[in-house]
Chains A and B, each alone.
With several copies, the nearest count.
Chain A
Amino acid sequence: MEGPYQHEASDSAYQFTKAAIAKGHEILRVFFYQDGVLNSNKLMDPQADDRHIRKQWSALAIENNIDFIVCVAAAKRRGINDTVIAEGFKIGGLGMLTELAIEADRLVTFRA
């Protein structure tokens, strides 16, 4: 996944997740890796007339009690750690993506 604002991937992933929930699907997990980890940064502060991508995600995670995992290796490389990670997101290992691939009926990747 690519970074929020830089590419549309974060917006598309958010809209898709919201639509899947609206249709009654269970979302096992949203896994953020590569530049996608930047979605979790609580310091994100876009212009007032633009959408706030991080807040959109946090609200979705909390309202629907979904597991949002931020890949630890990708996060460290990009300066994302516990001090800046927002509510609704948890740091986890890449193995949690493999677990998702083992368990999930469907897996959709939003890439640049």
Chain B
Amino acid sequence: MLHLVNKSPFESMSFEDCLKYAAKGSSILLYEDGIYGAMPGSAIADRMASVTSDYKVYVLKEDMMLRGVDKIMDGITEVDYAGFVGLVEENKTASW
């Protein structure tokens, strides 16, 4: 399963909600305001580090660029829209 999260984790529970239901080993793509969860040094960085050990976490490059976010945490993979399409080819998709 591919889980799509597009809300800021500092403002919305949708990232945490998604984690309650997502099976370990499944994929999570952070896009739109969801990409802020991938920033190093934030108050949720420790939480995200533990998430990356249980899930495959991706972040959308185009939405990072738009927002001026150029660093991401270890364990998170950058993908562009072509990569997003690739993830959808491989997985059913849940939009949170």
Binding site for B on A (CB under 8 A): 8-9, 12, 15-16, 18-20, 22-23, 25, 106-112
B81 within 8 A of A: yes
Residues of B within 8 A of A23 (CB): 82, 85-86
B53 within 8 A of A: no
A18 to B81 alpha-carbon distance, docked (Å):
9
Interface of chain B: mostly helix, strand, loop or mixed: helix
Residues of B within 8 A of A109 (CB): 93, 95
**Distance to closest chain B CB from A105 (angstroms):** 9
A43 to B95 alpha-carbon distance, docked (Å):
30
CB contact under 8 A between A20 and B85, given known A108-B95, A110-B95: yes
Count residues of chain B with CB under 8 A from any CB of chain A. 18
Residues of B within 8 A of A19 (CB): 80-82, 84-85
Contact: B32 with A108, CB < 8 Å?
A: no
Residues of A within 8 A of B15 (CB): none
A26 to B28 alpha-carbon distance, docked (Å):
24
A15 to B33 alpha-carbon distance, docked (Å):
16
Interface string of B56-96 (1 = CB under 8 A from A): 00000011000000000000000011101110110011010
A37 to B86 alpha-carbon distance, docked (Å):
27
Contact: B82 with A22, CB < 8 Å?
A: yes
Kindly list 8 other residue pairs between chains A and B, CB separation below 8 angstroms, not including A8-B33, A15-B81, A19-B82.
A15-B62, A19-B80, A19-B81, A19-B85, A25-B85, A106-B93, A108-B93, A109-B95
